[in-house]
């Protein structure tokens, strides 16, 4: 692994440079073909913006991968090569449907079916599934039957792919959060000595960072669905390896890695159910909308969410490191701390409801009771 690091660093630099060069070209192309984002009541930006920026990330990643592969011809196992083919073919399908949506505004049903098709290619075409999970607090691994593993894998890929798309609401937000999650997977892959994952993560990070030069507030181009769906698919595929890496991580680790988009998606579903709205109905109740309503500026909101994503990343590394030494009590502590943090945070900023705050109300009642007991004494 150590001997190959210079090659991977070169791949990162190549991908970064390509993103810096290709993104302005993609911007001109998007404007020429009419792939633009028109502002409306739900969106933050106030002027027409070119989309398709994710195409620059994708091209930087693919060309960077092609540039690196000749230097590591014998280092990939058959399993790794199979995974990489699935990643590229499924990712290309996702980018294509995202790019078409950036230009023609496809219906949600068409996009959803295309995502399922890409997931099915991964599962049935390359036989990549969640084969087993390590249940916390048990030493043995639990093998999954095919009838469970196949739908679970498809659900995971489609779900994570859409989760990134849902948080793509501010300049640099989806790209930065995805980059932090991918950086977390990079750290874990280096600790595990997982060569192929480290390479893919570095190439993706190069493309993301290069793109952020043009996407951070004030953005000159949006990544569009081509970018958010591709990054979501990439995270789904890379985090899947958390399930497949024997004796290293439990099933909870991938959930922590992408905690920001998944929690925002979960609270959005709960919020819309409470409001009797369709689950896929757009609204202005996402994490970034709530933080803006609290008075944070555009950049402050993005940087604050970056910090939350980094917090989840640190928890994931701690939890996976503890799993390596079978310290299951750490997993329990991490889960409890994460859930408490998420619930308190959601209630404070009004992520689910502006009035229903059960945990804060419980804490308030306990405090009043405690003060009353102290006064009676």
More confident residue, 18 or 217: 18
> Is residue 29 predicted with pLDDT exceeding 90?
yes
pLDDT per residue as tens digits for the range 191-222: 877 888 888 999 999 999 999 999 998 899 99
Tell me how far apart the alpha carbons of residues 5 and 178 are, in angstroms, rounded to a whole number. 22
Q: How many helices (H) and strands (E) does the chain have?
A: 15, 4
DSSP code per residue over 218-245: SPSS--HHHHHHHHHHHHHHHHHHHHHS
Q: Domain segments of the chain: what residues?
A: 2-376
Average pLDDT rounded to a whole number, residues 278-297: 78
pLDDT of residue 48: 83
More confident residue, 335 or 251: 335
The strand pair at 132-134 and 36-37 is best described as: unpaired
pLDDT of residue 232: 93
Q: Quick one: what percent of the chain has pLDDT higher than 90?
A: 38
pLDDT of residue 245: 47
> Is residue 367 predicted with pLDDT exceeding 80?
no
pLDDT of residue 267: 82
Tell me the pLDDT band of 148, cut-offs 50, 70 and 90: confident
Average pLDDT rounded to a whole number, residues 356-373: 74
Tell me the pLDDT band of 155, cut-offs 50, 70 and 90: very high
pLDDT of residue 65: 93
> Can you tell me whether residue 50 is helix, strand or coil?
strand
> Is residue 1 predicted with pLDDT exceeding 50?
no
More confident residue, 1 or 17: 17
pLDDT of residue 291: 85
> Which of 31-45, 48-62, 235-249 bottoms out in mean pLDDT, i.e. has the lowest?
235-249
pLDDT per residue as tens digits for the range 296-343: 888 899 999 999 899 888 888 887 776 555 556 666 777 777 788 878
Tell me how far apart the alpha carbons of residues 182 and 190 are, in angstroms, rounded to a whole number. 12
> Is residue 134 predicted with pLDDT exceeding 70?
no
pLDDT of residue 369: 73
More confident residue, 197 or 169: 197
Closest CA to 223 of 168, 183, 264: 168
Q: Confirm if 240 and 307 have CB atoms less than 8 A apart.
A: no
Q: Quick one: what percent of the chain has pLDDT higher than 70?
A: 82
pLDDT per residue as tens digits for the range 49-104: 899 999 999 999 999 999 988 877 666 677 888 889 999 999 999 999 999 999 99
Distance from the Cα of residue 365 to its chain's centroid: 37
225 annotated ligand binder: yes
pLDDT of residue 43: 56
> Which of 56-65, 131-140, 144-153, 336-345 bottoms out in mean pLDDT, i.e. has the lowest?
131-140
> Can you tell me whether residue 133 is helix, strand or coil?
strand
> Is residue 2 predicted with pLDDT exceeding 50?
no
Closest CA to 312 of 286, 345, 361, 275: 345
Instruction: Pick from 40-44, 105-109, 338-342, 346-350 the range whose average pLDDT is largest.
Output: 105-109
Tell me how far apart the alpha carbons of residues 373 and 377 are, in angstroms, rounded to a whole number. 7
Average pLDDT rounded to a whole number, residues 158-175: 87
More confident residue, 234 or 321: 234
Angle between helices 259-274 and 173-192 (to 10 degrees): 130
pLDDT of residue 112: 93
């Amino acid at each position: 692994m150590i001997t190959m690091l210079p090659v991977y660093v070169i791949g990162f630099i190549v991908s970064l440079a390509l993103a810096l060069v290709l993104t302005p070209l993609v911007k001109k192309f998007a404007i020429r073909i009419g792939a633009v984002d028109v502002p409306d009541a739900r969106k933050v930006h106030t002027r027409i913006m070119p989309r398709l920026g994710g195409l620059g990330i994708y091209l930087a990643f693919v060309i960077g991968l092609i540039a690196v592969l000749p230097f590591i011809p014998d280092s990939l196992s058959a399993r790794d090569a199979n995974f990489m083919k699935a990643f590229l073919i499924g990712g290309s399908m996702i980018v294509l449907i995202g790019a078409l949506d950036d230009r023609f505004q496809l219906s949600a049903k068409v996009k959803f079916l295309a995502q399922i098709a890409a997931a099915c290619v991964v599962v049935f075409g390359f036989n990549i599934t969640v084969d087993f999970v390590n249940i916390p607090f048990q030493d043995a691994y639990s093998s999954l039957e095919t009838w469970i593993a196949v739908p679970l894998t498809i659900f995971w890929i489609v779900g994570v792919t859409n989760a990134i798309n849902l948080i793509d609401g501010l300049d640099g937000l989806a790209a930065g959060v995805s980059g932090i999650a991918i950086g977390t997977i990079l750290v874990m892959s280096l600790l595990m000595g997982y060569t192929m994952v480290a390479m893919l993560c570095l190439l993706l990070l190069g493309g993301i960072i290069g793109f952020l030069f043009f996407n951070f507030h004030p953005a000159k181009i949006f990544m569009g669905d081509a970018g958010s769906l591709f990054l979501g698919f990439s995270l789904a595929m890379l985090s899947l390896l958390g399930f497949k890496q024997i004796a290293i991580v439990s099933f909870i680790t991938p959930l922590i890695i992408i905690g920001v988009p998944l929690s925002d998606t979960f609270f959005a579903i709960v919020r819309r159910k409470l409001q009797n709205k369709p689950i896929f109905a757009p609204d202005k109740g996402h994490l970034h909308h709530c933080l803006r309503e609290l008075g944070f500026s555009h950049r402050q909101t993005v940087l604050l969410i970056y910090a939350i994503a980094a917090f989840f990343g640190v928890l994931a590394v701690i939890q996976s490191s503890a799993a390596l030494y079978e310290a299951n009590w750490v997993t329990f502590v991490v889960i409890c701390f994460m859930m408490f943090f998420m619930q308190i945070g959601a209630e404070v900023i009004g992520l689910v409801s502006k009035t229903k705050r059960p945990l804060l109300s419980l804490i308030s009642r306990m405090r009043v009771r405690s003060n009353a007991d102290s006064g009676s004494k």
